[in-house]
A and B are shown apart, each in its own frame.
Chain A
Amino acid sequence: MGVPDPADAELVRRARNGEKVAFEEIVRRHGPAMYRFGLRMLRDEHAVRDCVQEAFASAWEALDQYRGDAAVKTWLFSILANKVRRYLRSQARSVPTEIDEGVIHSPAQHEPERRAIAGTMMAALEEALDELPLAQRACWILYEVEGLSYRRIAQIQGMSVDAVRGAIYRARQGLERRLEAWR
């Protein structure tokens, strides 16, 4: 997972020199995973679309600053994670009481998907994820669903590797407890 993707590197090189077609290919390569991460974090299709759109637009605008220190996927997820955090903080600010980021709850998911999974283990999982603190939720999704390494998650989340490992550990404990009935 730590090996740079040469196809990504070439696309970035071309995109950095102004080839938007190359950047669109980056969008198609990484968009599905980014969207999936955003949806699991926010559970609101419209908010996710906005965050993913803005993340890619920011990436395009800042492409000349990307030096390849992190994998392209890590860099893109870092940008998206910031957009998601800002969105959730903006939502929290609209609530007239002091809210700890750790207990921010996401808005309702897109209704058709909500109905499709009602009564399933997936619905229970989404509720369980929603009850996790934000960092635990993000780390668990990035590790277990997206298959990223501790180190990449640390870069994305702005946490130490040890903190990431601990967050995943606690997320697993919390999810196991909440999903006990589905075992």
Chain B
Amino acid sequence: MEMSPERDLGPPSDLLARAAGELRQLTDDGWVRAEQGVLDRVARALRSARPVRGRHEGGDFFLSSTVLCAQVGTRVDLIPGVRASSVRIVTDDVDHLDAVTLTVSVAYGQAIADVGSRARGEAAAAATAALGVQVRTDQVTVDVLVEDVFVDEARDDGGADDAGED
């Protein structure tokens, strides 16, 4: 009986299972030859980051924008039905935080305006905690871009993903 592609595929034939098994074993030596080159390339890779000026009792300090982005993203991820996709930081000429652009996806059925408002507040709160200076949304631009809607997998795990190609 011919298998139908519309339902789950069964196990492969013995022949193809053996072939796949051999493929898994074949290239380890190649990776051994390549590994150091990959590590060297990674060591040279630079992630763009800029200093962001913060303040504590002893005076000013500088926080990497990479760290600040991570803290903002982590905080926003705590909002139910919101996933932070990216966080962008803009600073002024003397490294003060000038703007935060937060890109998020929201769960299907969420009120986007409410979610966006809450995300702005949480982003500002996270920046305040990280920098030690009050980040108010009337002084620092906090833009929230809702770029996508997702199905909450905790409620519905049956959907198929159709991720777009780059």
Contacts and interface: CB of A to CB of B under 8 A. Distances in A.
B23 interface: yes
B165 A144 contact: no
A16 B70 contact: yes
A121 B22 contact: yes
B19 interface: yes
Contacts of B12: 144, 172
Contacts of B67: 17-18
A138 interface: no
A40 B156 CA distance: 35
B114 interface: no
B27 interface: yes
B48 A61 contact: yes
Interface stretch (B82-90, B93-101, B138-146): B82-90
A133 interface: no
A53 B41 contact: yes
B161 to A, nearest CB: 5
A87 B12 CA distance: 30
Contacts of A115: none
B160 A160 contact: yes
B34 A56 contact: no
B5 A125 contact: no
Contacts of A54: 41
Of the four ranges (under 10, 10 to 19, 20 to 34, 35 or more), the interface on chain B belongs to: 35 or more
Contact of B37 (A18, A49, A125, A176): A49
Interface residues of A, number: 59
Interface in A16-57: 16-18, 20, 23-24, 27-28, 31-32, 35-36, 39-40, 45, 48-49, 52-54, 56-57
B66 A17 contact: yes
Contacts of A151: 160-161
Interface in B114-166: 160-166
B33 interface: yes
Contacts of B48: 61
A155 B42 contact: no
Contact of B166 (A125, A158, A176, A183): A158
Contact of A49 (B34, B47, B64, B165): B34
A125 B13 CA distance: 14
Nearest to A128: B19
Given A17-B66, A32-B28, A165-B8, 14 more contacts: A16-B66, A31-B35, A53-B38, A60-B45, A61-B45, A63-B47, A64-B73, A67-B83, A67-B85, A67-B86, A113-B26, A158-B164, A162-B5, A183-B15
21 contacts: A20-B43, A24-B42, A31-B34, A32-B28, A39-B30, A53-B34, A56-B42, A57-B41, A60-B45, A64-B86, A82-B165, A125-B23, A141-B23, A151-B161, A154-B163, A155-B163, A158-B164, A165-B6, A168-B9, A170-B5, A172-B12
